[in-house]
Structure 1
Amino acid sequence: MSAALSPADIAALPYRPCVGIVMVNAAGGVFAGTRVDMDKPAWQMPQGGIDADETPRQAAARELLEETGISEDQTRFLRQTADWLTYDLPPEVIPYRWGGKFRGQKQHWVMVELTAPDDAIDLSYQDVEFSDWQWMRAQDLLVQIVPFKRDIYAAVFQEFGLI
């Protein structure tokens, strides 16, 4: 895809269906990982595409396992966002992310509580997305997240009662 897209080209692109996972611990900390593919630390929560045959909750269980090694039986489901939430990628990123086919993502978010010990988290389980992780307060993660995702994180945290 061309490196330059007009605003009209961008507006015509669809959103990529995706799921995000808010994994909390018993103390109310929120799991955040720093991405392996960034030059400077970029913290985020697990997320990924929803396959055609999956519900958001099924995709959340699969993505959490792939990215953290945590299986569904090591968590307790708490809630899911009522509707899709969207965010747009920065225009300069669109041509290079997901083959330039999407303007951003539409996401359902699932909140689970980790019921296993912290040492069950294995960032090298399958898809190595994170180089490090920590439990953060939701307010602190809002400061650390890349700016173009900040509004969607704030909406999710508000809907889930974390801020």
Structure 2
Amino acid sequence: MTDYSALPFRPCVGIMLINKDGLVWAGKRYGDKQPIPEDFAWQMPQGGLDKGEDPHEAAKRELYEETSVTSITLLSEVSEWISYDFPEEIQRNMRKAKYRGQKQRWFAFRFEGDDSEINILTPPEGHAQEFCEWRWEKAENLPGLVIPFKKQVYVDVVAAFSEFTV
């Protein structure tokens, strides 16, 4: 049996995009290799840091690549990394497991644009589609919409940015 706990965490960023009404952007995952139950297929934008990349710049890049959104203002950042382990069944199904999970730096941005700016079906600059649907959601509902092994991360992020949401 492989000891996945000896593997490092993949450094990533996560983005809570909050509209003027205090609702949070959530996208329904698209094209996953591992099927995700319908009830847990939603998440906020997130993605890996490129080598040497500043987390704030990575957050803006990932948000743009996944949603086409650029009309944003930084509200806050969680100062510590928030991590989670991939479940063992996911680790086993990864061909060359390099990471035990992810450590994420989370950012809250105010969405200053119009909903028409959001384009998830044909992402900019040839980036792969990450989501097939999106909606504005109350922050308190997000932990119940995400895959269970990420739930505590969402609980922590919602608490960290609660002053900006309804």
Q: Aligned pairs, how many? A: 155
TM-score (norm. length: structure 2): 0.88
Secondary structure of the residue aligned to 1:133 is strand
Identity percentage of aligned residues: 40
Matching residue within 9, 14, 18 for 2:8? 14
Which residue of 1 is the match for residue 160 of structure 2? 159
Q: 1:106 to 1:140 in 2, by over 3 A?
A: same
Matching residue within 22, 29, 35 for 2:23? 29
Secondary structure of the residue aligned to 1:82 is coil
Which residue of 2 is the match for residue 83 of structure 1? 80
Which residue of 2 is the match for residue 100 of structure 1? 97
Query: What is the 5 A alignment of 1:128-147?
Result: 128-147=129-148
User: Quick one: distance in 2 between partners of 1:108 and 1:11?
Assistant: 20
Instruction: Name segments (4+ residues, structure 1) moved above 4 Å.
Output: none
Matching residue within 106, 119, 123 for 2:116? 119
Which residue of 2 is the match for residue 58 of structure 1? 57
| Cα displacement string for residues 101-158 of structure 1 (whole angstroms, at most 9, x for unaligned residues) | 1110000001101100011000021330000000011121111111100001111111
The one-letter code matched in structure 2 to 1:35 is R
Task: Select between 29-38 and 128-137 the one with higher mean Cα deviation.
Answer: 29-38
Q: 1:98 to 1:19 in 2, by over 3 A?
A: farther
The one-letter code matched in structure 2 to 1:36 is Y
Structure 2: gaps (5+ residues): none
| Cα displacement string for residues 24-77 of structure 1 (whole angstroms, at most 9, x for unaligned residues) | 101011100000124443000000000112111000011001000012xx0011
| Cα displacement string for residues 69-113 of structure 1 (whole angstroms, at most 9, x for unaligned residues) | 012xx0011011011010011111013448311110000001101
The one-letter code matched in structure 2 to 1:19 is V
Secondary structure of the residue aligned to 1:100 is coil
User: Quick one: distance in 2 between partners of 1:115 and 1:14?
Assistant: 36
User: Quick one: distance in 1 between partners of 2:28 and 2:56?
Assistant: 23
Secondary structure of the residue aligned to 2:107 is strand
Q: 1:107 to 1:132 in 2, by over 3 A?
A: same
Q: 1:148 to 1:111 in 2, by over 3 A?
A: same
